[in-house]
Structures are given as C-alpha cells and as structure tokens.
A and B are shown apart, each in its own frame.
Chain A
Amino acid sequence: MSIACDDDSFIREALPAFISEADEQLSVFEQLLLQLESAPGDRELLDALFRCAHTIKGSAGIFGLDRVVAFAHHVETLLDLLREGRVDLTSALSTLLLRSGDQIRAIVSESAASVAPTHEAESLRLELVRELGVAAGTQPPVAVVFAGAGPEGPSSPDPVAWHVCVAFGTETFRNGMDPLAILDYVRRQGIMASLACDADQVPGIESIDPESCLLAFEFKLETTKSLADIEAAFAFVRDDCVLSIKACADPAAEAARDGASDTRGLEAQAAQPPQAAESPAAARASATQRGPADDNRFIRVHADRLDDVINLLGELVIASAGASLLAGQTRQRPLIEANQHVTRLIEEIRNGTLQLRMVPIGETFARFRRVVRDTAAELGKDVALEIVGGDTELDKSVVERIADPLTHLVRNALDHGLESPAERLAAGKSAQGRLTLSACHDGGSILIRISDDGRGIQRDKVLARAWERGLVERGVVPPEAEILRLVFEPGFSTAQTVTNLSGRGVGMDVVRRNIEALRGTVTITSEPGCGASVEIRLPLTLAIIEGFMVSVGPSKFIFPLDAVIEVIEGAQGAAACGGAERGCVDAHGHLLPVVDLRALYALDSARPERSSIVVIRAGGQRYGVVVDALLGQHQTVIKPLGRMFRSLRGMSGSAILGSGEVALIFDVNSLGVLAAGSAPERPSRPALP
C-alpha cells in the first residue's frame, strides 16, 4: 500500500473477502437470533449476536461502506440494550432484527455492486430504522446518514479522548496489511494527537528482515466514536497485533497538554504514555509469551483452485492405474512394489484432498430455521424444527446444489403437510407441529430425510388428480409407492389453492430432477393422519469413488464398492434368469432378485459357462447382478456420461481405466429398480468397445 495509490487498490482487492465474510456473519447473526428465541436471556448468545453485528459494522467501516455502517449502528444500539437487559427479546423484536439482518445483506450487495438503492428499498430501510429506534426507546431518527451526507456512524454528544497503543505483528506486511493505511483510517475517526512510532524493535540494516513488521505506535484519539468503533479500525489485523485502547482520565487536560491536532513525531516521541496504558513494547512482549493462537486457524481457499486440484488428482489416479498395469506386465517385483507404494500414497492424497471439500450439512440445515419460522408465521401455524445429524459431512458441491430442493420440500411440508393448530387439536394432536430434518451416512451415500407429523399425503386425492390428468388410466389403482411417486410428476398438485409458497405443481418434479442430476434418488412415504417423510439419497462426492469392477464379455462395469455386500463366484446366475433380464436365486435360504446385465443391455458377447453374482444393497433392498467375471477393487474417477448416454438407465457415469478402456459406473439405486422389475421401459444398450 502506498500513499500514491491511496486506499483504493486495497479496498478493491479485499472487498470480495469482506462481502463473503459479511455474508457468513449475517448467517451466524440469523442463527443466533433463532437460538435466542428459545433462550431469550442467554448472555453468551446475546454477546455473540452483538459481536456479529459489530464485526460487520466495523469491517464495513474499513471499506468505506458508510451506508452499511449507518444502518448497522441502529441494529447495534438495540442489541446493546438487549445485552444490558434494558429491552426484552420478544418475537416481534426478533422478527425486526431478522429483517434488519436481511437489510444489511441487501445494502452490502448494493454497495458491492455500486448500485444505487431504489426508492422502495430506501423507504423500507428508513422504516426499519424508525422501528429499530422505537424498539430501542429512542426518538425515531429523521433519516439515516448516507455516504457523503455528513459524518458517518454513531456520535456521542461529547468527544472522548482515548489512549491507543498498537504493536503490529510480524506478519502484518506479508498479510497485505499496511499500518500506514490503518492509521490513516483511524485518523479520520477523530483528532489524532501525540503519535509516536516505537521503532525500538527495528534492528539495523545488517539484521532486519524487511518484510517482517516490527513497528508499534502510541497516540491519543479524541473522538465521538465508541471504543468498539476504534477497535473495529484494527479488525483486519486484530489476530496479528497487540492492541490496547484506554480512556484518558481527563480528556480536556490531556488534549490541552498534548495539542489537539499535532501529529508531528518529534513531540510525540517525547510524550509520556499514561501509567494505565500498556506500552507497545510491553504489549508485544506479553503477546510473545502467550504464543500464537493457532488452535483454530483456517485459510480461505477459492473453490475453483480446489476443484483444479481434484481434477488433477483424478488424472493422477488414472495415470497411476495405467502405471500399475504396465508394472504388472513387466513381472519385476521391485517395480511392482514401488508402484504399489505410489498407489497407496495417491490413495491417501485422494482421501485427504476429498476431505477438504467435505462440509457438514448442518450449515445448510440451519438456514431452514428461518424458513420454518417465517413460513409457519405466514401460514398461521406453530411448527418446531428438529435438526438431526447436522455434523454429517458431504461434498461441498453436493451441499450447494441440494439447498434449493430442500427448501422446496420444507416449504411444501409446511404448506400442505402440517395442519393449523386448530386442525391439529381437533385431530387429537398437540397444537405444535414437528418438522424434522435429518442426515446420516448410509452405505456410501448420504441419506437426508424431511419428515413431518402432519396430515400425510392424501392418497385418494393424489389418485383422483392422477386420473384427472391422465397420468394413470382412470379406474386403475397402482400400488401405494407408485401413487406417492406421482407427486413428483410434472405439473402435479393436489392443493386446492395456490399460495405463494407452493401448490402450483411446479417444483416437485424439479426437485426430483435436481436430485437425480446429483446421482441421487428421492422417495416419499406417508401415513394418513400421522405425517409424511421424503427421503433423499445422495452420493458423498461427485468426484471419485472406490469401485468394484466386473466384466460382461469385453464390456467393463463398476459398482460403488460400498454397495457391494457379497459376491457369489461361479454361480448359475444366468440359469436363474433363464436368459431373461430378471430372475431369482436362492441366497442363504432367501430369494434374491437378480438382473442379468447381458440380457438387460442386450450385449452381444458369448455367454461363459459359469458366471458370478454380485450382491448389492441399495435403498434398503438387496439384489444380485449376474456378471461374467469379477475384476476386483478399482479407484474410480467419475466422468459424466456424454449426452448420448444420459438416458441410459441404471448408469451414473463413466470411468477411464488405466488401459484407456471406458467402464460404465452403475447407479445402484436405479439398477435396483430395474432388478425389481418396476422400470417402465427397457434400458437402452450401452455402446461399449
């Protein structure tokens, strides 16, 4: 950072990080508010809530986002009163604060995009400011202070003098921070006096590390801003500096002694710091004794960079498989062993790298607290949300893409599934409905359930609508599961009235499509009067799986290894099917449905004398798959199927083998549907080499 380029380039470079962090802080703000509704007096939650608003305001101030600062100030004032117990957190107040959080998010977006607010947005903002003022018991403000309209931020009637000591950490420069820019910002918050640069720690040119910051400063600041505002100026170096801010005992006397606006260093060097304040050198020493606070250190990595690494890793896995194949052909033991070692290491790197992308689904679930709260209030319903298994992890890309389908399913449950308190009481239930979001790992995939204790799906209405729309031939009554599946058909809705939440019949089919695009499945169960449950099964990751490879003739196929529970070698599987696509075999005294791949996909190769059966567990059912040969475990980098193969049932992707051959990866759930014989159409034949 330099004087010549001012703060502009710094702000330009760091603004995206601020926006991202503000978004996270606002999500936390929302969650804390929702938690506080259950525990209104929880001091820790109130403190955390205040810190959240304060951090957003402070960071926005550094970036000169004055409108954010001005609005957040009103929120902060109210939160301060809540902390002090002078205002109680009522449901209405909670709603006001939630709306205020939304407003801050909107202002941040506008500021980031340099978009002027619309008249409606301005009106809403002013109304919120008025409501915040009323809630805080202050006079409603006449107007919010906007950028350029006058002094920003809070103001107290009388300026207060502060004595500030700051010792910047050694990493300050390397972290892209410049004390010069920070002090410039602080200077704009009031009148800075007696600035002294403590260069005692700066060694001679012979031994200095020029990129390590060894500077410390002391100064007086006379300002109308609060202590928190001054602290906020150091927000970006807060983890790597020692900061001490103390009120001067007699501001008037201090100011008179030091001279109000003098920032010349020579006088400053001579000025003695007050006894109460810790000197920068002492502060630095105490920081050194404390040691680095590195228990919870995180680095922020752009998702694209991680994706690039994962893509390269995929290529590495393929190349490694090729090398293993070649090493095996040489029959040279040292080479084979060395290759096995490399393969093991690659496997460890693969697991470690994929772990980097895993995030707990709880963060996504937590968003629904607000959705449930607001939607239930809008519908006049009383609903408690229960979250189970929020720490279940899955790939970030899956998490991002599942949020919208989940939102729709939750809103649907609230709108159609759960009854009003009066209806529930009349049905002999408690007035408060229950909606449960749960997640768990199950057989190499993640299982997400959205269940409610509402009225359940009215089977008769679904069937009547299906007859009416011609989805089912009039008079025909399909099995229960198929009737329920009809709600995922395009344009299907049994809602009597179309609300702005649901009932238009668009959405459930989109939900299904979105989930299937993630190689997932969605099923629905319902018990009339007791509730409904939607079950979403998703793969843990979209990138790489541990596979089990089989062959049918020259064609190679891969099952996700987690789904394989048993292999029966040399079985008479083909005989069980009798050349047909499906059949049954006796497995440990139980009938096991089997599907013959050669028949199912009409593969031309000659059938061997003996075949094997791979037993798969998927979606709560077991079935067997008849194959020619078992080729063993295989690390599989999933490549999406080309457009030509998208309609191929039972397949989820393809993989390139070390030999350069292509193998198709099974979607064990949809293959299970084919094995059970409920598939409406015959799968097309895979065009394999």
Chain B
Amino acid sequence: MNTFPSLPHELTIYTVGALHAEWRAGLADALDPKATGAECRVRGDLVAEIDAAGVQLLLSLRRSVVAHGGVLRVVDPSAPLIGACSALGASLLLLDAFMTETAS
C-alpha cells in the first residue's frame, strides 16, 4: 500500500495548478510499478473548500492510478468533499473509501 500526501484544505481552481505539479512529481513514488493492483491511499479529511476543478483533478489522479493497475482510495473524506463529488455525479471517487471502511 502506498500513501499519497493528504488532500489539502483547499482543492479549487486557485490551487489545482500547484497541486497538479506536486502530484505529478509524487505519482511515480506513490505507485510501485512492480506491485500491480497496489492501493494508493489519500486522506480527504482536511478538504474544506472544493470546486469542480478540484474534483476533476481527483478524477485525473484516479485515472493515472488505475492506468498503473492501482486503486485510488480517498480515506476519511470530509463533508465538503463528499458533497462536491455527489453533486457532480462523481461519487465513484469515494466508493473505494466507503468499501474500505466497510471492510475494516
């Protein structure tokens, strides 16, 4: 299991540029190419502000993780994060988190 840095307090159009550069650089470290099916965990409890640009960046991260044969698990999502994903029909981002919680 790999742990990605926690999602920040603000995940909006104003922060996605910097976050994108950070995540792109950290992706190689977070994913072990030898471990197919690796789980990439990212904590979402700090997210207080989020907009569609932030959700889109999460979708992009998920696509990369899946492309590497991994699974992105957003752990402990905050209420704004759940609300935004739900309101944009992107709840699949959080499904793995709920599944993890249920399993544990």
Which residues of A line the B interface, CB within 8 A?
1-5, 173-174, 178-181, 183-184, 187, 195-197, 199, 202-206, 208, 210-211, 213-215, 217, 219, 263-266, 268-269
Interface string of B75-89 (1 = CB under 8 A from A): 000001001111111
> Which of B12, B13, B20, B85 has the most A CB atoms < 10 Å from its CB?
B13
Q: How far is the CA of A219 from the CA of B90 in the complex (A)?
A: 13
Q: Which of A4, A5, A179 contacts B52 (CB 8 A)?
A: A179
Q: Which of B16, B64, B84, B95 contacts A204 (CB 8 A)?
A: B64
User: Assuming the A-B contacts A2-B49, A180-B51, are A210 and B92 also in contact, with contact meaning beta carbons closer than 8 angstroms in the complex?
Assistant: no
Looking at chain A's contact residues, the main secondary structure is loop
A-B contact pairs, 26 of them (CB 8 A): A1-B52, A2-B10, A2-B12, A2-B48, A2-B51, A3-B80, A4-B48, A4-B80, A173-B13, A178-B13, A180-B55, A184-B87, A197-B90, A199-B59, A202-B60, A205-B23, A205-B60, A205-B61, A208-B20, A210-B17, A210-B57, A219-B89, A263-B89, A265-B89, A265-B90, A268-B89
B48 to chain A, nearest CB (A): 5
Tell me the nearest residue of chain A to B14, going by C-beta. A2
Q: Which of B49, B60, B85 contacts A210 (CB 8 A)?
A: B60
> Which of B23, B59, B80, B88 has the most A CB atoms < 10 Å from its CB?
B88
- Contact indicator A205/B64 (Cβ below 8 Å): yes
A195 to chain B, nearest CB (A): 4
Q: A265-B89, A265-B92 are in contact. List 20 more A-B contacts (CB 8 A).
A: A1-B13, A3-B51, A4-B48, A5-B49, A173-B13, A180-B52, A181-B51, A183-B88, A196-B89, A197-B90, A199-B56, A199-B63, A205-B23, A205-B27, A210-B56, A210-B60, A263-B86, A264-B86, A265-B88, A265-B91
A187 to chain B, nearest CB (A): 7
User: Assuming the A-B contacts A2-B51, A204-B63, are A215 and B17 also in contact, with contact meaning beta carbons closer than 8 angstroms in the complex?
Assistant: no
Q: How far is the CA of A535 from the CA of B86 in the complex (A)?
A: 66
A13 to chain B, nearest CB (A): 14
> Which of B12, B19, B83, B85 has the most A CB atoms < 10 Å from its CB?
B12
> Which of A1, A202, A204 has the most B CB atoms < 10 Å from its CB?
A204
Q: How far is the CA of A187 from the CA of B83 in the complex (A)?
A: 13
Which bracket fits the contact residues of B?
Answer: 35 or more
- Contact indicator A3/B84 (Cβ below 8 Å): yes
Tell me the nearest residue of chain A to B18, going by C-beta. A210
Residues of B near A264 (CB, < 8 A) are 86, 91
Residues of A near B24 (CB, < 8 A) are 205-206
Q: How far is the CA of A504 from the CA of B9 in the complex (A)?
A: 66
- Contact indicator B91/A208 (Cβ below 8 Å): no
Q: How far is the CA of A424 from the CA of B13 in the complex (A)?
A: 68
- Contact indicator B90/A199 (Cβ below 8 Å): yes
> Which of A183, A206, A210, A263 has the most B CB atoms < 10 Å from its CB?
A210
Q: How far is the CA of A187 from the CA of B12 in the complex (A)?
A: 21
Residues of A near B87 (CB, < 8 A) are 3, 180, 183-184, 187, 263
Tell me the nearest residue of chain B to A187, going by C-beta. B87
Residues of A near B19 (CB, < 8 A) are 210
Residues of B near A5 (CB, < 8 A) are 49
> Which of A173, A179, A265 has the most B CB atoms < 10 Å from its CB?
A265
Q: Which of A178, A208, A263 contacts B60 (CB 8 A)?
A: A208
B20 to chain A, nearest CB (A): 4
Tell me the nearest residue of chain B to A215, going by C-beta. B56
Tell me the nearest residue of chain A to B66, going by C-beta. A204
Residues of A near B86 (CB, < 8 A) are 263-265
Tell me the nearest residue of chain B to A198, going by C-beta. B89
Q: How far is the CA of A264 from the CA of B20 in the complex (A)?
A: 27
- Contact indicator B52/A213 (Cβ below 8 Å): yes
Tell me the nearest residue of chain B to A184, going by C-beta. B87
Residues of A near B13 (CB, < 8 A) are 1, 173-174, 178, 211
User: Assuming the A-B contacts A204-B60, A208-B60, are A217 and B51 also in contact, with contact meaning beta carbons closer than 8 angstroms in the complex?
Assistant: no
Q: How far is the CA of A183 from the CA of B55 in the complex (A)?
A: 14
- Contact indicator A197/B88 (Cβ below 8 Å): yes
Tell me the nearest residue of chain A to B85, going by C-beta. A265
Q: B7: CB under 8 A from chain A?
A: no
Residues of B near A206 (CB, < 8 A) are 24, 27, 64
Tell me the nearest residue of chain B to A182, going by C-beta. B52
- Contact indicator A215/B88 (Cβ below 8 Å): yes
B103 to chain A, nearest CB (A): 17
Q: How far is the CA of A274 from the CA of B90 in the complex (A)?
A: 21
- Contact indicator B64/A202 (Cβ below 8 Å): no
Tell me the nearest residue of chain B to A4, going by C-beta. B49
Residues of A near B46 (CB, < 8 A) are none
Q: B42: CB under 8 A from chain A?
A: no
A186 to chain B, nearest CB (A): 10
- Contact indicator A3/B85 (Cβ below 8 Å): no
B60 to chain A, nearest CB (A): 4
B94 to chain A, nearest CB (A): 9
Residues of B near A179 (CB, < 8 A) are 52, 88
Q: How far is the CA of A266 from the CA of B23 in the complex (A)?
A: 26
Q: B50: CB under 8 A from chain A?
A: yes
Residues of A near B49 (CB, < 8 A) are 2-5
User: Assuming the A-B contacts A3-B50, A211-B16, A266-B92, are A202 and B56 also in contact, with contact meaning beta carbons closer than 8 angstroms in the complex?
Assistant: yes
Residues of A near B95 (CB, < 8 A) are 266
Q: Which 7 A-B pairs have the closest CB atoms?
A: A2-B49, A204-B64, A265-B91, A195-B89, A210-B16, A197-B89, A210-B20
Q: How far is the CA of A588 from the CA of B28 in the complex (A)?
A: 90
Residues of A near B51 (CB, < 8 A) are 1-3, 178, 180-181
A254 to chain B, nearest CB (A): 17
Residues of A near B63 (CB, < 8 A) are 199, 202-205
A284 to chain B, nearest CB (A): 15
Residues of B near A3 (CB, < 8 A) are 49-51, 80, 83-84, 87
- Contact indicator B53/A217 (Cβ below 8 Å): no
> Which of A184, A206, A213 has the most B CB atoms < 10 Å from its CB?
A206
Q: How far is the CA of A269 from the CA of B81 in the complex (A)?
A: 19
Residues of A near B20 (CB, < 8 A) are 205, 208, 210
A213 to chain B, nearest CB (A): 7
Q: How far is the CA of A204 from the CA of B66 in the complex (A)?
A: 9
- Contact indicator B60/A180 (Cβ below 8 Å): no
B74 to chain A, nearest CB (A): 13
B22 to chain A, nearest CB (A): 10
Tell me the nearest residue of chain A to B20, going by C-beta. A210
A219 to chain B, nearest CB (A): 7
Tell me the nearest residue of chain B to A194, going by C-beta. B89
Residues of B near A217 (CB, < 8 A) are 88-89
Q: How far is the CA of A217 from the CA of B87 in the complex (A)?
A: 11
Residues of B near A265 (CB, < 8 A) are 85-86, 88-92
Q: How far is the CA of A269 from the CA of B13 in the complex (A)?
A: 25
Q: How far is the CA of A173 from the CA of B53 in the complex (A)?
A: 7
B8 to chain A, nearest CB (A): 12
Q: How far is the CA of A187 from the CA of B56 in the complex (A)?
A: 20
A532 to chain B, nearest CB (A): 60
- Contact indicator A210/B53 (Cβ below 8 Å): yes
